[in-house]
Amino acid sequence: MSSFPAYRPRRLRRTAALRKLVRETVLAPSQLVLPLFVRAGTGVRVPVASMPGVAQTSVDEMIKDARDAASLSVGGVLLFGIPEHKDEEGSSAWDDNGPVQEAVRALKRELPELVVITDVCMCEYTSHGHCGVLRDGEVDNDATLELLVKESLSHARAGADVVAPSDMMDGRVGAIRRALDENGFAQTAILSYSAKYASACYGPFREAAESTPQSGDRRGYQMDVANAEEAVRETRLDIEEGADMVMVKPAGPFLDIISRVKAETGYPLAAYQVSGEFAMIHAAAERGWIDLDRAMMESLLGIRRAGADIVITYFAREAAKRCP
Ligand code: PBG
Ligand code: ZN
């Protein structure tokens, strides 16, 4: 009889080469998407205080960041716009000469290999900062759909590969799909923010995008963080309405949701490591409490291991440099 124990898991952990040989999950630069904040002007670069290394930039500066990302083989960029003018219905969102539209055209011209995804929402464009139009203090779902359609069509006209509605209105994926098809954009894909939670982790983003609601919060349209079944239901609905890819957001506190949504739908799944997750890692590292690079790679690998195919992260460039 052989000596106890027959199976010693440590045997395969002895050397870096052995560990690499049996590694189950990989993180590749092509799976990463870098969010970018675009505003009007030239030569503009306004750092975001709560997000080290992240800035609002004009299109010419944005191209530099995107070129850097492309040279590191980062798969794509996700564009957010900061308009010069905000109003009650967010009409700048469908301005064909707005910062996002200009950025899309510049990216498709100069870096055609990079996937260009545009965030579709009203909160950056409305004076009140909500993700849709208000009626009697509430976001009016069906009236908002028309505005999201106009915004999506404007992004598609500019040449976006993918539009990504993040508003959480009911029926928006179907409305956008129909409008794209009817207007000759059958090839424009939809990445739906299908399971987007009303999270505490969006604070730094709202500073970056200047999109903090002036009153109330987003709990009337974003998901309750306690719910998992609902995430599967929301995602199925978006798939039925025509979503090509789906999303779980935030990522780190919702790894169980990533795992379930992937297992139950089998659809291409993106997970968004949001601004607060990024800021928390930076803040702890700044105090010397954790190692920035290791914590970054561990957080991203965890998201991939849970089942995400695509990881949207402000760390995209730094992580791409450290992918094996
Ligand atoms: C817009 C939008 C938000 C984020 C992505 N799209 C903010 C929000 O819903 O308040 C958050 C991204 C992040 O925190 O990094 N609806
Ligand atoms: Zn919004």
pLDDT at 1 exceeding the cut of 70: no
Secondary structure of residue 147 in the 3-state scheme: helix
User: Residues 173-226: pLDDT tens digits?
Assistant: 999 999 999 999 999 999 999 999 999 999 999 988 888 998 889 999 999 999
64 catalytic, yes or no?
no
How far away, in angstroms, is 6 Cα from ligand 1 center?
A: 51
- How confident is the model at residue 5, as a pLDDT? 86
User: Residues 212-255: pLDDT tens digits?
Assistant: 998 889 999 999 999 999 999 999 999 999 999 999 999 999 99
Query: Which numbered atom of ligand 1 lies nearest the CA of 204?
Result: 14
- How confident is the model at residue 31, as a pLDDT? 98
| pLDDT category of residue 324 using cuts at 50, 70 and 90 | confident
- How confident is the model at residue 4, as a pLDDT? 81
Query: Which numbered atom of ligand 1 lies nearest the CA of 201?
Result: 14
Q: Percent of the chain scored above 90 by pLDDT?
A: 94
3-state helix, strand, coil in the chain (%, to 5): 45, 20, 35
Please identify which residue in the block is written with the tokens 């992580």. Answer: 319
Token code pair at residue 184: 């000759």
Phi then psi dihedrals of residue 238, to 5 deg: -65, -35
User: Residues 3-59: pLDDT tens digits?
Assistant: 788 899 999 999 999 999 999 999 999 999 999 999 999 999 999 999 999 999 999
Query: Which numbered atom of ligand 1 lies nearest the CA of 314?
Result: 15
Closest CA to 190 of 114, 268, 103, 287: 268
| Cα 61-277-75 angle, rounded to 5 deg | 50
- How confident is the model at residue 2, as a pLDDT? 65
* Atom 10 of ligand 1, residue of closest alpha carbon: 202
How far away, in angstroms, is 138 Cα from ligand 2 center?
A: 14
Q: Which one of 150, 196, 262, 321 is the catalytic residue? A: 196
CA distances in angstroms from 41 to 83, 84, 99, 110, 286, listed in the order given: 11, 10, 9, 19, 32
How far away, in angstroms, is 209 Cα from ligand 2 center?
A: 10
Closest CA to 70 of 105, 42, 39, 32: 32
- The DSSP call for residue 223 is B
* Atom 11 of ligand 1, residue of closest alpha carbon: 202
- Tell me the one-letter amino acid at 319: A
249 catalytic, yes or no?
yes
- Tell me the one-letter amino acid at 165: P
- The answer to whether the bond into 35 is cis (omega within 30° of 0) is no
Pick the CATH number of 26-322 from 2.60.320.10, 3.50.50.60, 3.20.20.70, 2.60.40.10: 3.20.20.70
Rounded average pLDDT over 78-89:
96
Which element (helix H / strand E) includes 70?
helix 59-71
Secondary structure of residue 120 in the 3-state scheme: strand
- The DSSP call for residue 10 is G
144 within 8 A of 122, measured Cβ to Cβ: yes
Q: Who's near 2: CB < 8 A, 6+ residues apart?
A: none
Q: Who's near 283: CB < 8 A, 6+ residues apart?
A: none
* Atom 2 of ligand 1, residue of closest alpha carbon: 166
How far away, in angstroms, is 205 Cα from ligand 1 center?
A: 6
Which residues, listed in sequence order, are joined to residue 164 by a DSSP beta bridge?
119
How far away, in angstroms, is 236 Cα from ligand 1 center?
A: 22
- How confident is the model at residue 209, as a pLDDT? 86
Spatial separation of the C-alpha atoms in residues 166 and 38, rounded to whole Å: 17
- How confident is the model at residue 59, as a pLDDT? 98
Torsion over CA: 239, 122, 178, 112 (sign): negative
pTM, two decimal places: 0.97
**What residues flank ligand 1, with Cβ below 6 Å?**
119, 121, 123, 131, 166, 202, 205-206, 218, 274-275
* Atom 12 of ligand 1, residue of closest alpha carbon: 274
Among all bound ligands, the one having the nearest atom to the CA of 219 is 1
User: Residues 109-147: pLDDT tens digits?
Assistant: 999 999 999 999 999 999 999 999 999 989 999 999 999
User: Residues 249-298: pLDDT tens digits?
Assistant: 999 999 999 999 999 999 999 999 999 999 999 999 999 999 999 999 99
- Tell me the one-letter amino acid at 52: P
Q: Which one of 86, 249, 262, 321 is the catalytic residue? A: 249
Which residues, listed in sequence order, are joined to residue 134 by a DSSP beta bridge?
139
